[in-house]
A and B are shown apart, each in its own frame.
Chain A
Amino acid sequence: MSAAARIAGALLVAGLVAGAGARGEARPRVGSVLYATTTRLYLDVGSREGLAPGQAIRFQRAGSCRVEQVSETRATCLGSGRAGDTFALPEPPPPRPVTRLPTPASPAVLEQRRSVLASAAYPPVDYHETAGGGVEGRRGSIDAGIRHTTWWVSGGPGAWNQERADAGIRGASLGAGFTLDLDLSARRWSRRSDPITFRPDDPTQLYVWEASISHRNGDGGPAFSIGRVRPYRVPGQVILDGAQAGWRLEGGSEAGVFGGAVPNSVTLAPSFDHGTLGAYWIGQRVFETDSTLRFLRHEARIAFVNTDDLGKRLEGEALVEARITRRLDAAVNVRIGAGVAHGFSSLDTIRLDAVRVDATARPLDSLSLSGSFRHEGGSVPELDGPGHLLLGGEARHADLSAAWEAMESLRISVLSGLSTDLVTQKTRRWIGPEVALTHLLADRGVVSLGYIEEDGWAPGRSAWLQILARSQGVLQVLARLSWFQTSQIAPGNLDELGVSTSIQAQLGPHVAFRLSTMARTVLNGQTSLFSAATGQIFVADAELAGTF
């Protein structure tokens, strides 16, 4: 017997054995969810197991879905569930009658067919970016909303009412690689009562933060923005009426200059009395998937800035952000500045204007730590009413929180932080636990309970019970009951009870309605000295928003 014949014989025997084994196995009578998206589930069984489109499936744990599309071995299902959910399969369809297949074609014919197929030309199915793709693949978006807000205090002079319209356009294509960015808000105070601190003589206000045309290609080349520009990724730079121009490298790095007039800090009115001129660098690099350093972003600017609030200054700022393995994200931002009120030859003392450090670590899949430190060293004058200028703003803030997913639906967190006003040396510290049940009602509800103990110049404590219910993409309802006790902020302890609600309803694919309210009442300390009606407040905010 030749070697080829032996091999063929062995393969035949192995195939028969395998086939017999396969026939001996009972088909699984349960199906399961391979993976799940927000609306669609992917099942590991198909028409061979008896599934058909439209069929309702109820999971053994919780939830249900309706079969959408079926192949022989797989199916998709619309509904709610999680990967790993199992369900009972229907009775299998009766076996089809055996039909005798035609005799296979001769090897020569099969070879001929194979060569025809192999040499046939076919059009590949490929992804084609839609024409006019914007910055780094963005196709642009438009956000618009109208909104009404009411603030009311019992025993006060009356409610404050504001109506506003907001609009934003992000990277909308204008053709030929140009994009439009717009960010504005028009506000009307239909009612205000004295004392009014903020723009008391302007009940109608218009704010334009961005109105620029840009050209920034993801493949590199010249990049610029012109108009009212929010400088693209220039750390800490104020908006300007002018231009930003640079050269972009493939991969997203960019270097360039910017300059223009700086609008008023309160009204945003254009002003040629103040301006800025500077240079920037943006760099980012993505490393190999398995490398220790996965991603690095570094940005820097050096600029002369003359603003109405800070005066003439020379500023330098750097931002470094890194992702280290998949367990740690960290960012450091440093700004230094020096006043140049008397010209560049007489630099004032160089000051550390800001140091900000943020870090998020996930040492375990079930444990995450998040913290930040911020030092604001710059003195920020603010107008507080007509002709009244405040100087201050130097502060430090730090926070640290830890969250542990103790079980699949239980999260235990510890929140802590401190904040210090370096002008008055007043400090507050807080720490406390929060327990959350995160997967209630088939992932549609979250209940959390928290308590915070507070210390410092205004010590106290607070507790809350929060309930969040949502139907992904349709409706979200949040209710929160809070209690606060604050000491040393009044002649006696102040106890307050608050209720907050928030409803977000998606009215259609592009339109959403949001309503949020907050009410508080003082529980003590008022009835003996004041009317009992002096301790209630109410704030309501309603918005109709569209995204296109």
Chain B
Amino acid sequence: MSALLVALAVAAAPPPAPRMQPPGHIVVETRCEACHSPAGWTPVAFDHSKTGFPLEGRHVFASCRACHGSSTDFRAPVPTSCGACHPDVHTGEFGNRCASCHDPSSWATQFGPDAHRFTNFPLTGRHAAIPCEECHQNQRDKRFTRAAADCFACHQPDYLRTAGTSIDHARAGFGTDCKSCHFPTRFKGARFAGHDACFQLSGGPHAGISCFDCHTSLTSFIAPGTCMTNTADCMRCHACAHETQTHARVGGFQCTNRKCYECHTFTAGTGLRPPATTRVKR
């Protein structure tokens, strides 16, 4: 009976007065302390992470209206993509996921040589210490397109720079696939794998010497790997007096460059190897 009376009392009571909405807000609860503090209406402290868009980095300091505009309904959907607020200075090249490169704290780019590995051109060796604009030259649109991932696209001038030297790449018939001989750390000091077929450089007493140590004169056009350049200057290191003495019993010995590598190729299984005592100390 009492319960019925209570129910009747509730039913008979006039409807509660509508809760007054605070000016400047629409359809929001009036628990002011959820956002404001008695210290003043600003700054507003609202746990934005509950909205699905946590305020990270500099966003913490953004004013509410910088994103929500003049709307008084802070529950109305607001675009959350970066492009909704940040102008796209890259003319759309990278889409709307700015955070994959930019730091939300400073907008400074986080895209360094490590991240470049997630592209078609991993920055290895010296490439990791080159200013971006040396390759990505378009400053107007801040585009990062590049003509090609091919070595020669960038290093053609280096290829041409060998013209007139004793390792003139064009005359010697070297291809344009730079990485087949050169390391990305430094152009100087190449490793020509085909050289072992003529004269072993990958191991043995001549391992580690550079091209110019032997090839000091200009070559004519020769297909690489045919052992026909005839420009190796053995006598730069091997003194005739010493070699003549050590080859006293070798028939047909002559102290000329070509005669050395007619016998000494150091190629495994076929090339002659001089006694250790006759090797040149480097």
Q: Would you list which residues of chain A between 198 and 235 have a CB under 8 Å from chain B?
A: 198, 207, 209, 218-219, 230, 232-233, 235
Q: Per-residue CB proximity of A359-383 to B under 8 Å, as 1/0?
A: 0101000000010101010001111
- Please tell me if the beta carbons of A356 and B45 are within 8 angstroms of each other in the complex: no
Which of chain B's residues have a CB closer than 8 A to the CB of A162? 131
- Partner of B126 from the list A156, A335, A383, A397 (CB cut-off 8 Å) is A156
Chain A nearest CB from B255 CB (Å) reads 29
Residue of A with least CB distance to B23? A126
Whether A236 sits at the interface, judged by CB under 8 Å, is yes
Chain B contacts to A: CB under 8 angstroms:
2, 5-6, 8-9, 12, 22-24, 33-34, 37-39, 41, 45-48, 50, 52, 55, 58, 60, 63, 65-66, 68-70, 75-81, 83-84, 87-89, 91-97, 105-106, 108, 112-114, 117-122, 124-126, 128-131, 133-135, 137-141, 143, 145-150, 153-154, 156-158, 179-186, 188-191, 193, 207-208, 210
Known contacts A238-B140, A424-B150, A498-B114; A460 and B125 CB within 8 A of each other:
no
Number of interface residues of A (CB under 8 A): 157
- Please tell me if the beta carbons of A395 and B145 are within 8 angstroms of each other in the complex: yes
Which of chain B's residues have a CB closer than 8 A to the CB of A238? 91, 140-141
Give CA–CA (A356, B83) in the complex, Å: 14
- Please tell me if the beta carbons of A518 and B113 are within 8 angstroms of each other in the complex: yes
Whether A55 sits at the interface, judged by CB under 8 Å, is no
Whether A535 sits at the interface, judged by CB under 8 Å, is yes
- Partner of A7 from the list B8, B63, B106, B120 (CB cut-off 8 Å) is B8
Q: What are 29 contact pairs spanning A and B, CB under 8 A?
A: A7-B8, A10-B6, A36-B47, A37-B45, A124-B23, A137-B66, A139-B66, A218-B69, A235-B88, A236-B91, A265-B141, A295-B79, A297-B84, A323-B79, A331-B96, A354-B92, A354-B93, A370-B97, A382-B147, A393-B147, A420-B120, A457-B149, A464-B114, A488-B179, A490-B182, A491-B180, A518-B112, A520-B128, A530-B186
Give CA–CA (A14, B9) in the complex, Å: 12
- Please tell me if the beta carbons of B106 and A512 are within 8 angstroms of each other in the complex: yes
Give CA–CA (A331, B47) in the complex, Å: 28
Give CA–CA (A545, B150) in the complex, Å: 38
Give CA–CA (A163, B98) in the complex, Å: 26
Give CA–CA (A539, B112) in the complex, Å: 10
Q: Which one of A101-109, A337-345, A384-392, A404-412 is at the interface?
A: A384-392
Q: Per-residue CB proximity of A101-145 to B under 8 Å, as 1/0?
A: 000000000000000000000001111010001001111000000
Residue of B with least CB distance to A456? B120
Whether A434 sits at the interface, judged by CB under 8 Å, is no
Give CA–CA (A118, B117) in the complex, Å: 71
Chain B nearest CB from A420 CB (Å) reads 7
Given contacts A236-B91, A462-B117, A472-B60, 16 further A-B contacts (CB under 8 A): A10-B9, A35-B34, A40-B45, A136-B70, A151-B129, A162-B131, A197-B135, A197-B137, A198-B134, A265-B141, A358-B96, A382-B146, A486-B122, A520-B128, A522-B125, A528-B208
